[in-house]
A and B are shown apart, each in its own frame.
Chain A
């Protein structure tokens, strides 16, 4: 760790102060308030609050819907992030080759970065519309083949496709940067020794980009927990029959539609604890398992 140069004691604090105040106001206080509210029964529109101890937690944890939506969040996190990291990895491996198509690909594959989850949600909801969309002809051949409004599996497939579409740019750019930092000489030496493309992939590329893969997964996990809101809200509205009600969506409905502020705050606290534990686990446990062989 290198030390700074200027010896001023107060100036750095003054420079950082605007950012500190903003973060205090819109990050730390809301986070603290979510935990604080979890112990109070808060009335909507400022009707005062009563201390209720662990009652809110008791209420939330006894609610089957909470566990179901947490389970769905976990499910989405696992499937969503595995797909949203491995498909870009395959694309990055292809774009890392010396081919002409690699140039347009590097531009076009970043485009989804410009499109909001909710916007592409509107578009995909239309494309996968059972009566008007691209799968409508199949529905005419065999009625009920595809209908995300009534079949939970179809709704999930639609959500995951949209999630992967939106997640490609970041993971593609990160993993491609990782692949391009692998020294060419190492690959040439391996090829001289008779290591084929598959062998090089598993013995050189993958181990060398482990830190990049790790970063992609860490960020993707959080992203899949919270970023799914725009997709769910525009594509399935939590349906059919609550099958896609992820926890972020349930918190929004409970808090802003049902005005159960205490319940929503309690679920927010629990989700935050979940995210913190998950991230700490990744950093303290998983990161040690990854060998950093790069300088």
Chain B
């Protein structure tokens, strides 16, 4: 730059320091309280002294709460969300970008509309569907009069029932039904040269072969970015897993952590233990974020383009 930037840079440094302190402060407090014993905590209140009770607290969390089991649940649900999203979104985006079919735009609009209304907004009726995913078929059969016909012929109405509540698929599927991934892949695939498909055709490869052998390997970076973002998205879901799983054994870690937290008036809760649980619940996604930060930034900016 052509001017003296010292003042500007000092200001920028101060702003960034404040910003990082704001982000880190709750995490640091969580980590420090997690090392203290309940007795010390009661005696001192919130203090920044590092205690020696960390392993003890971890042991308590492992023996007295369902958090470890729930962390496993979270890993499974988050992986299901991430894998489901990557596969489905890639297939759809490929269909939209590489085919001449006019209804591609229609499919795109159909998928994109989901961004407007996140799962938390439609949780009441999504719950009813997950409680019996056959209910649309039952409804259709009743509406179309097919069931009346069956009743007259067979004497009994047909009714199908299949509940996804309290299952990993049930916790992941409604979260996967969302359009960001398709949007991200579409943005990316459109930047690839169109001649690739032509060249592949000249070499005798059909669309499926082209998709698997050329488009897919070229999409490694956005695939990794989407995977990381959706893993985090699946992990941090709260309202949906809260209603979709009713037993502690099936709940996700975030829901389990919130259940550990005390009701408003009940003496002094074991905060060192709760903070240890908070730390354990967040350590996997936090590690993913810190080490795969490149992919997150890439993924988020790809959505913007």
Chain A positions near chain B (C-beta within 8 angstroms): 2-9, 11-13, 15-16, 18-20, 22-23, 25-27, 29-31, 33-34, 37, 87, 90-91, 93-95, 97-99, 101-102, 104-127, 132-134, 136, 149, 165, 168-170, 173-174, 177-178, 187-188, 191-192, 196-197, 212, 215, 222-223, 225-227, 229-230, 233-234, 237, 239, 248, 251-252, 255-256, 261, 264-265, 268, 271-272, 275-276, 279
Contacts and interface: CB of A to CB of B under 8 A. Distances in A.
A98 B3 CA distance: 13
Given A177-B301, A229-B238, A264 B124 contact: yes
Contact of A20 (B16, B20, B110): B110
B111 A23 contact: yes
Interface in B267-305: 268, 271, 274-275, 278, 281-282, 285-286, 288-290, 293, 296-297, 300-301, 304
A23 B110 contact: yes
A87 B123 CA distance: 31
Interface string B109-140: 01101101110111111111110010010000
Interface stretch (B99-107, B145-153, B216-224): B99-107
A20 B97 CA distance: 16
B235 interface: yes
A29 B45 CA distance: 51
B255 A22 contact: no
A110 B190 CA distance: 28
Given A16-B96, A119-B257, 7 more contacts: A20-B107, A25-B133, A25-B173, A27-B122, A118-B238, A119-B236, A173-B300
Contacts of A196: 3
B254 A90 contact: no
A234 B261 contact: yes
B124 A265 contact: yes
Contact of B190 (A2, A33, A191): A2
Contact of A119 (B89, B114, B129, B281): B281
Contact of B129 (A19, A29, A127, A170): A29
Nearest to A22: B177
A2 B192 CA distance: 12
Nearest to B198: A5
A124 B116 contact: no
A12 B236 contact: no
Interface in B168-226: 173-174, 176-179, 182, 190, 194, 197-198, 201, 207-208
Q: What does DSSP make chain B's interface, helix, strand, loop or mixed?
A: helix
Q: Which 6 A-B pairs have the closest CB atoms?
A: A116-B236, A12-B95, A114-B285, A94-B12, A26-B177, A114-B289
Contacts of A229: 120, 238-239
B65 interface: no
A174 B304 contact: yes
Given A115-B285, A173-B297, A109 B20 contact: yes
Given A5-B197, A9-B101, A33-B129, A251 B124 contact: yes
Contacts of B194: 2, 5
Contacts of A132: 45-46, 268, 271
B282 A230 contact: no
Nearest to B208: A11
Nearest to B196: A5
A11 B133 contact: no
B45 A26 contact: no
Given A107-B290, A230-B239, A279-B116, A114 B282 contact: yes
Contacts of B285: 114-115
Contact of A94 (B15, B113, B182, B275): B15
A113 B125 contact: no
Contacts of B46: 127, 132-134, 136
Contact of B173 (A26, A33, A34): A26
B282 A34 contact: no
B95 A16 contact: yes
A230 B254 CA distance: 10
Contacts of A239: 264
Contacts of B30: 123
A111 B2 contact: no
28 contacts: A6-B98, A6-B100, A12-B95, A12-B96, A13-B103, A15-B91, A25-B136, A26-B173, A27-B117, A34-B122, A94-B19, A99-B16, A111-B289, A114-B282, A114-B289, A122-B258, A123-B29, A124-B26, A136-B45, A136-B46, A165-B26, A173-B301, A229-B238, A230-B258, A234-B261, A252-B123, A252-B243, A261-B124
Given A127-B26, A165-B22, A6 B304 contact: no
Contacts of B201: 5
B301 A105 contact: no
B12 A19 contact: no
Contacts of A271: 121
Given A22-B176, A136-B46, A113 B237 contact: no
A55 to B, nearest CB: 18
Given A15-B95, A99-B13, A276 B116 contact: yes
Nearest to A175: B304
Contact of B293 (A15, A110, A187): A110
A97 B23 contact: no
A165 B23 contact: yes
B23 A112 contact: yes
A107 B230 CA distance: 18
